[in-house]
Amino acid sequence: MSNALFSTSSRVARLLAAAAASMLAACGGGVSAPTSPVVDAASITILPDAAVMYSGLPTTFILSGGTGSYIVASSNQAILQVSGGVTGRSVTLIPNPVASDTVVTLTARDTGSATPVTATVTVKPGTVGNNVTITPTSTQSAACGAAVCSGGDAEVKVTISQGGVPLAARGVRFEAASGAFRIITSASGVQPEVTATSGTTTTDELGVARMRIRVQADANAQTALLQITDLATGAYQRTSFTIAPASNAPLDAQPTTIAFTGPDTASCASGIRADVIVFGGRPPYTISQPGTVAISPTTVITSGGSFSVVASGQCTAGSPVAVVDANGATVSINVTNVLGTATVTPPLIVAPADGIVLTSCTDRASVIVAGGLGTYSAASGSGYLGVDKDGSTVTVFRKPATTVPAGTTTGTVFVTDGQTVRTVTVNLIGAAAGTCP
């Protein structure tokens, strides 16, 4: 077999492998780009060159040939946003929402002279609506409010449609993405009840899918996350809901103490935030504001909700923040704000602050330094100026055998304590602005 034939066969094999990976990408799956580029200076390839994409779902396109460095552009940036260079040999795109099928053209070119290629993409509307409702069972305690009580159950309802048209008999998967709850997979009324981390059902004639969830009996106050996936397209929606302790749980707020500490011995904390979670009792909860700290919000609607306590810079040995539920039950959080332990370093200052003046080659001017860390050093920032330092006094003079550049009327001296630098402007007048012997 000739070397030319072998080279051509090898290149075709690699292109076929890239095409197979791209077909998987067009279905919404993640695809990794091959590790070695296929370089063919005469032409470039984009795979897939025709794809169906759904709003919100990623698709990966594989590029090969040409120089190996590519630029991809979209004919409709509002729907499919991509413009500019591509890092590596693949690009993953996620289309924005559309109301109806929309055709977008992707154009790929390399950094050489290969002919640009295009891929035709049809973007279809997403199928899982964001109108997900989670309705707790009507028999649960009113103390949990809109949250689902620990040990309780709720019905989840979502509409699967495309372009406003309901999709009937559509497979839909419900998953417990995070939180202390499970999907009820057994039929209503069947005992013992069967639960799992995910469950599948189908939509009715109106495109509505329903599923029941069960919160674990020992669940603490928390926010849970539910994922709903249209099995036909892979499109999904995530929604959160609040889990609250059972109605017999007493009112509680955690933490019960908050201690703020200032940055140094001269000041108390300011702008630092601590969050408090309120649960149990009967929501909503009203939060008092003592004046020494800022409270936000002052009303917490559901069990498991939270409010923030922000230090205002005002010192306090103890300020109670009261949490009162709808039944009048009260718990208190004690907030302190005290001075820190770090020593305050005074600012480094130089005087005169507006600069000094030299009028001749023998003239000398002094700068007084104070504050900072207490140990000072000075250096000239101009070759025609010299400095002497004696304790906190810095003396500036013209160096002999030096010339000030024509048109220059100022020079610079730097003073530092090792932490902060101050700049002193030296104004040159008369003979001091010329050549010194």
User: pLDDT digit string (tens) for 286-299?
Assistant: 999 999 999 999 99
Positive/negative CA dihedral, 159, 160, 164, 165: negative
More confident call, 289 vs 302 = 289
pLDDT at 248: 59
More confident call, 276 vs 137 = 276
Distance CA 118, CA 44 (A): 10
DSSP string, 256-324: SEEEEE-SBTTB--EEEEEEEEEESSSS-EEE---SSEEEE-SEE-STT-EEEEEEES--EEEEEEEEE
**116 within some domain:** yes
Distance CA 131, CA 145 (A): 20
| Percent of the chain surpassing pLDDT 90 | 61
Burial of 76 (0-12, 13-18, 19+ CB in 10 A): middle
Last residue of a domain, one of 309, 338, 367: 338
pLDDT at 56: 77
User: pLDDT digit string (tens) for 190-226?
Assistant: 878 899 999 999 999 999 999 999 998 778 889 999 9
Last residue of a domain, one of 214, 244, 274: 244
Cis peptide before 347 (omega within 30 of 0): no
347-369: average pLDDT: 93
386-391: average pLDDT: 93
pLDDT at 39: 52
Among 435, 426, 418, smallest CA distance to 377 is for 418
Residue 11: pLDDT band with limits 50, 70, 90: very low
Burial of 426 (0-12, 13-18, 19+ CB in 10 A): buried
Among 50, 49, 46, 44, smallest CA distance to 65 is for 44
Do 62 and 24 share a structural domain? yes
**358 within some domain:** yes
CATH number for the domain including 318?
A: 2.60.40.10
Do 228 and 166 share a structural domain? yes
- Cα-based distances in Å from 165 to 125, 247, 436: 11, 41, 91
Last residue of a domain, one of 244, 262, 296: 244
Distance CA 396, CA 415 (A): 11
Query: Which two structure tokens, joined as six digits, stand for 198?
Result: 């995910």
pLDDT at 192: 85
Question: Considering the chain, what is the average pLDDT of its residues?
Answer: 86
Burial of 89 (0-12, 13-18, 19+ CB in 10 A): buried
Do 158 and 226 share a structural domain? yes
The whole model's pTM is what?
Answer: 0.41
Do 366 and 271 share a structural domain? no
CATH number for the domain including 196?
A: 2.60.40.1930
pLDDT at 40: 57
166-188: average pLDDT: 94
pLDDT at 3: 39
**75 within some domain:** yes
Pairing of strands 198-202, 195-196: unpaired
Distance CA 131, CA 125 (A): 15
Do 64 and 45 share a structural domain? yes
**287 within some domain:** yes
Do 171 and 97 share a structural domain? no
pLDDT at 124: 86
Do 158 and 97 share a structural domain? no
Do 120 and 156 share a structural domain? no
User: pLDDT digit string (tens) for 322-346?
Assistant: 999 887 889 999 999 999 988 888 8
**343 within some domain:** no
Name residue, tokens 């000075």: 378
- What is the tally of structural domains in the chain? 4
pLDDT at 25: 39
Do 177 and 193 share a structural domain? yes
**219 within some domain:** yes
Distance CA 195, CA 190 (A): 12
Count of C-beta atoms within a 10 Å radius of residue 73? 15
User: pLDDT digit string (tens) for 29-83?
Assistant: 333 344 344 455 678 999 999 999 888 778 899 999 988 899 999 999 999 999 7
Q: In which domain, by residue range, is 147 found?
A: 133-244
pLDDT at 283: 78
Do 324 and 214 share a structural domain? no
Do 320 and 282 share a structural domain? yes
**225 within some domain:** yes
Distance CA 240, CA 225 (A): 4
CATH number for the domain including 365?
A: 2.60.40.1080
Distance CA 386, CA 243 (A): 73
131-144: average pLDDT: 83
pLDDT at 331: 95
Residue 150: pLDDT band with limits 50, 70, 90: confident
18-37: average pLDDT: 40
Do 188 and 231 share a structural domain? yes
Under a CB-based contact definition with an 8 Å cutoff, are residues 72 and 92 in contact?
Answer: no
pLDDT at 346: 87
**344 within some domain:** no
